Amino acid sequence: MGALEFRTAISPAPSFYSNAKLAALSLAALAEPYASAPLIVSVGDNADIDQVKADNPWSTHYPVVWRAAEHSAHDVEPRGFLSGLDRFAYPAQSEVVIICDADACLMREIDELLEKLHTSHPTVAGLMAHYSPFHRDAEQNNTAWHRMLDAADLKDHPLSYRYSIATPEQSGRCPAYFNYGFVAFNRAGFEKVRPLVRKYKELARTALTGHALFFAGQIGLALALAAAGVDVLELGPQYNCPNSNEMLGRGIDDVTQIRFLHFLRNDEFDRHSFLSDPAAFHRFSSATFDAAVNRHFQRHVLALPQVFYFRPAETDAG
Please give the pLDDT value at position 70: 83
In a domain? residue 310: no
For the chain, what is the radius of gyration of the CA atoms? Answer: 19
DSSP H/E element including 2: strand 2-10
In a domain? residue 40: yes
pLDDT per residue as tens digits for the range 239-295: 999 999 999 999 999 999 999 999 999 999 999 999 999 999 999 999 999 999 999
Residues with Cβ within 8 Å of residue 214, at least 6 apart in sequence = 78, 133
pLDDT per residue as tens digits for the range 194-210: 999 999 999 999 999 88
In a domain? residue 311: no
In a domain? residue 219: yes
What interhelical angle do 292-302 and 278-286 show, nearest 10?
120
In a domain? residue 53: yes
In a domain? residue 207: yes
Closest CA to 172 of 222, 213, 135: 135
In a domain? residue 312: no
**pTM for the complete prediction?**
0.94
Residues with Cβ within 8 Å of residue 247, at least 6 apart in sequence = 237, 241, 293
DSSP H helices, 117-230, are: 138-151, 168-171, 187-193, 197-207, 216-228
Q: Is 49 helix (H, G, I), strand (E, B) or coil?
A: helix
In a domain? residue 307: no
Q: 232 with 124: CB under 8 angstroms?
A: yes
CATH number of residue 196's parent domain: 3.90.550.10
pLDDT per residue as tens digits for the range 143-158: 999 999 999 999 999 9
As for how many domains the chain has, the answer is 1
Which domain covers residue 78, as residue numbers?
2-302
pLDDT category, 81, cuts 50, 70, 90?
very low
